[in-house]
Structure 1
Amino acid sequence: MTNRECSRPSCRGEATTTLTYDYADSLIVVGPLSPVAEPHSYDLCARHIDRFSAPQGWQVMRHVYIEN
């Protein structure tokens, strides 16, 4: 348990993923939950990251964490 809730309003789901926007490059970076909550990032639960879609013309970069 991370004790961090999803950033979506009125969602109390456990955050599993961190999403960050780079407005200058029209880029969205999606990766594993960051170790520390960042003020310019969004922590999302599994339900909301599955429903996530990028604005038209934006690129999405997904980082996948693989445990050895």
Structure 2
Amino acid sequence: MTNRECSRPSCRGEAATTLTYDYADSMIVVGPLSPVSEPHSYDLCTRHTERLSAPQGWQIMRHVPAG
């Protein structure tokens, strides 16, 4: 257990991934949960990670750990 909750308002799910924005490249990057909470990133539960969508003109890059 990470003791970190999803960043989405009203969600108390356990954080599973970390999301960051790359504004210069219009990209959302989602990867494994960061070891520490970062001020410019968002921790998401599994449900919100799976439901994530990007604004028009943006793309989502998902990093999946090997193995």
TM-score under structure 2 length normalisation: 0.94
- 1:41 partnered with 2:36: no
Q: Percent identity?
A: 84
In structure 1, the gaps of 5 or more residues are none
Where does structure 1 differ by over 2 angstroms across 4 or more consecutive aligned residues?
A: none
Q: How many residues align?
A: 67
User: C-alpha distance in 2, partners of 1:3/1:66?
Assistant: 24
Equivalent in the alignment of 1:25: 25
Structure-2 residue corresponding to 1:52:
52
* Ranges in structure 2 where 5+ consecutive residues have no aligned partner: none
1:24 is displaced (CA, Å) by 1.5
